[in-house]
Amino acid sequence: MAEKSLKEAEKIREIVGQDLLGGRIGLLLGWEKGHYWWQSRPLFAKNEADLEKLTWDSFCVINLSRYLLEELKEHGKVGVLVKGCDARAFNRLLQDNMVARDRVVLYGLPCPGMLDYGRLNEEAGGALISISESNGSVTLKTGTGEKSVERDQVLMKKCAECVYPDPVVYDQLLLSPQGKKEGVERFKSVEDLEELTPDERFAYWEGELSRCLRCYACRQVCPFCSCRECFVEQDNPRWQGRAYQPGENFMFHLVRAYHGTGRCIDCGECERACPVDIPLQELNRKLIKDINQLYGDYEAGVDAEADPPLLTYRPDDPAAFSEK
């Protein structure tokens, strides 16, 4: 564990501790270490003992904002640690009327990007025991020795492609900002897919989606999936069958992607949570790209006050069907 992140964790604990123990918030959503050293899982801190477990390291990838949906039913006021993506997720929930702004305290954590255990392992060449970080590089310890790699090389994919590492909304900023990242080519893979013929593209997605187990992890972590009853589970009418087979899998993923049109904040949690590595962000980003092309640049979640393009009408909106 890097010295720096330990210090930062200490600072976070001190500030949020005042609010939690002082009664300003009834619950703090943060991270604690999981079963393995390379996992940090959500922490639901209610007291001083819980707070001792609070962690801030390079594995705090899980988006915490979504936990508000349930926790706000139990607690009057909840504090949340928000990275860039957690903050945009919060705006998503706010725009969907799922959370009350005055019942949430947001502690902003500008985020250096989280590390990908899979990539670390690959770089280490196996038997990774631990890592340490300093100045943008990561030292990998294995049974046979040490190896140093650039931090950028071992970032989570979603973090490498993240444009907004700083929280876009917060009540208190706990660390110093990272700055907006320029020159991120997040639509590259979408453009590659657009080059394919419809048949090739269908074959590609058929291959990818055939692996889907319909575990719905993508939906469960998603900040735009806040329906009380998802269409997949509705009985009357039964929109789609339960079986996991290509046709049904297509139906589920395409409808889910459409439901995120103009709403997906591009946090990449769906793809991260997917146990069979379906490139779900490509679906979402295709729609983000289309929306930007049709209605002008719009970044869902960045500004809760900005009008979502599919919920507003402007006289100069493109009307492909009525134009001659």
Q: List residues near other proteins by CB under 8 A.
A: 73, 96-98, 226-231, 234, 236-237, 239, 259, 308, 311-312, 315, 324
Query: Which CB contacts under 8 angstroms, 24+ apart, belong to 47-52?
Result: 47/20, 47/21, 48/17, 48/21, 51/13, 51/16, 51/17, 51/20, 51/21, 52/13
157 or 259: whose CB is closer to other proteins?
259
For residue 228, the minimal CB distance to other proteins (Å) is 5
Number of C-beta neighbours around residue 154 at 10 A: 25
For residue 278, the minimal CB distance to other proteins (Å) is 21
d(CA 148, CA 49): 36
Token representation of residue 217: 């992890």
58 or 95: whose CB is closer to other proteins?
95
49 or 319: whose CB is closer to other proteins?
319
Token representation of residue 202: 């269908």
Token representation of residue 293: 């092309």
For residue 225, the minimal CB distance to other proteins (Å) is 9
> What is the C-alpha end-to-end distance of the chain, expressed in Å?
63
Q: Which 3 state secondary structure label does DSSP give 110?
A: coil
User: Could you say which DSSP state residue 40 is in?
Assistant: E
179 or 241: whose CB is closer to other proteins?
241
228 or 242: whose CB is closer to other proteins?
228
Spell out the alpha helix ranges (H) of 112-195. 117-124, 157-160, 188-195
176 or 322: whose CB is closer to other proteins?
322
For residue 275, the minimal CB distance to other proteins (Å) is 25
For residue 185, the minimal CB distance to other proteins (Å) is 30
For residue 319, the minimal CB distance to other proteins (Å) is 11
